[in-house]
Amino acid sequence: MIDPTWKPETLAVQGGYRPKATEPRIVPIVQSTTFKYDSADHVARLFDLDCADHFYSRLSNPTTAAFEQKLAQLEGGVGALATSSGQAAISLAILNICRAGQHLVAASTLYGGTYSLFYTTLPKLGISVSFVDPAASAEEIAAQFRPETRLLFAETIGNPGLNVLDFDKFAAVARQQQVPLVIDNTFATPYLCRPFELGADIVVHSATKYIDGHATSLGGAVVDGGRFDWRCGRYAELTEPDASYHGLRYCEKFGAQAYIVKARVQFMRDLGMCAAPLNSFLFNHGLETLPLRMERHSSNALAVARHLQQHPQVSWVNYPGLESHPTYALAQKYLPRGCSGVLTFGIRGGAEAGRRFMEATRLIALVVHVGDLRSSVLHPASTTHRQLTEEQQRASGVLPDLIRLSVGIEHVDDLLADIDQALAAC
């Protein structure tokens, strides 16, 4: 049996999957679309949601279930749903409780893909989004709420602004407005931060980043904290009958798991952005070493940030583990184990020097990715955030001369040597 009081290091290794005698020691890759049954009755019960066995891998799969359970245990949630990507997880987390004519409030410091989803695509579906500066007061954030607002969204560590969220403030606004706080915990991972303990109700991940950790697979997940009271009168889709399941009421039937069950049996059924079993296997593998990797990513990134800070060719360094960072106090409060592996800095000489730096690194590769155990470098304004206007870029925390480093788990001396030789070539 899995003991939920095990420490994260133990859950990461031993959680999710516990084989019985003669079963494989390692989670098997169940590469099967479908599962065999003997009786029509049994299948009828599956379709009526009266039993939770696997029957079709769009809805659930044993390899994916092992990954989902381990992630839910690490986050301290009541259930998780794996998806084909982080974008799919965010879309599903929102569509599960927000429909045409409704509205959400989001911190403006967001991953570029999330910003595009919120700014361009959700409005096409009739869902409007108001962006707030995460440093705004609780009153200013509350002023963005409307009767049809259904959720508040933010990232634990904004990407790529690297501002640490003021959880107390955001959770208080969400509670006061009676909406769930939905947190993208991709950069922190459940090893560095457990948002449910800080007032979040739903957590989303791009598993593509640190959970995989080896840059092999796209994937994501939605995790349900199980504590939000959907019966407050505004979430009819969870309390009122679902015609596609003979009038089933999710809250009545599934209690604390109503949200995550609905996400699976309704939206995953209908939209189909499901995880591939091989990817779930690799994410499960990644989770096993997550605590070790996050420690090393964090200590290496802090060492690189301190080194850059005293380098004459560097005009500024942005890392929440540095005393100079505007959210340093929040990082100390919410991320005591480390601030993850991503940092940004500006080179004297602006965008042109930035471009030269990226081409001059030898060990650190020019890659559109973060969270890999190999170090990588990127200029967001000309790549990940290039679809945004300069004003939108600045609102997302992207300056024209900003270089983003995703610091890997190599030996820090080799990383510092590579950075120094690349700066010397600029």
Ligand X SMILES: *Cc1c(COP(=O)(O)O)cnc(C)c1O
Q: Which positions lie near ligand X, rule CB under 6 A?
A: 85-87, 111, 113-114, 155, 159, 184, 186-187, 206, 208-209, 218, 220
Give the span between the Cα atoms of 291 and 12, in whole angstroms: 8
User: In whole angstroms, how close is the CB of 51 to ligand X at the nearest point?
Assistant: 32
Q: Are 290 and 210 in contact (CB under 8 A)?
A: yes
User: In whole angstroms, how close is the CB of 160 to ligand X at the nearest point?
Assistant: 9
Please identify, using beta-carbon distances, which residue of 111 and 191 lies nearer to ligand X: 111
How many residues are recorded in the chain?
A: 426
Strands 220-224 and 79-83: antiparallel
Please identify, using beta-carbon distances, which residue of 108 and 114 lies nearer to ligand X: 114
Please identify, using beta-carbon distances, which residue of 184 and 401 lies nearer to ligand X: 184
Please identify, using beta-carbon distances, which residue of 66 and 183 lies nearer to ligand X: 183
User: In whole angstroms, how close is the CB of 287 to ligand X at the nearest point?
Assistant: 16
Please identify, using beta-carbon distances, which residue of 102 and 208 lies nearer to ligand X: 208
Alpha helical stretches, state H, 15-150: 40-47, 62-75, 86-95, 112-116, 122-124, 138-142
Among 204, 210, 220, 222, which residue's Cα sits nearest to residue 342? 210
> Helix crossing, 277-288 with 62-75: angle to 10°?
40
Please identify, using beta-carbon distances, which residue of 155 and 224 lies nearer to ligand X: 155
Please identify, using beta-carbon distances, which residue of 187 and 250 lies nearer to ligand X: 187
**Count helices and strands in the chain by DSSP H and E runs:** 19, 12
User: In whole angstroms, how close is the CB of 206 to ligand X at the nearest point?
Assistant: 3
- The single-letter code of the amino acid at 196 is F
User: In whole angstroms, how close is the CB of 187 to ligand X at the nearest point?
Assistant: 6
Please identify, using beta-carbon distances, which residue of 144 and 186 lies nearer to ligand X: 186
Give the span between the Cα atoms of 78 and 224, in whole angstroms: 6
Tokens found for residue 152: 């508040």
Give the span between the Cα atoms of 3 and 118, in whole angstroms: 39
Which residue has its beta carbon closest to ligand X? 86
Please identify, using beta-carbon distances, which residue of 28 and 113 lies nearer to ligand X: 113
User: In whole angstroms, how close is the CB of 200 to ligand X at the nearest point?
Assistant: 14
- The single-letter code of the amino acid at 153 is F
Give the span between the Cα atoms of 334 and 133, in whole angstroms: 19
User: In whole angstroms, how close is the CB of 90 to ligand X at the nearest point?
Assistant: 6
Q: Max alpha carbon distance in the chain (Å)? A: 74
**DSSP letter (8 states) at residue 130:** E
User: In whole angstroms, how close is the CB of 157 to ligand X at the nearest point?
Assistant: 8
Q: Are 306 and 329 in contact (CB under 8 A)?
A: no
User: In whole angstroms, how close is the CB of 266 to ligand X at the nearest point?
Assistant: 21
Strands (E), 161-301: 181-184, 202-206, 220-224
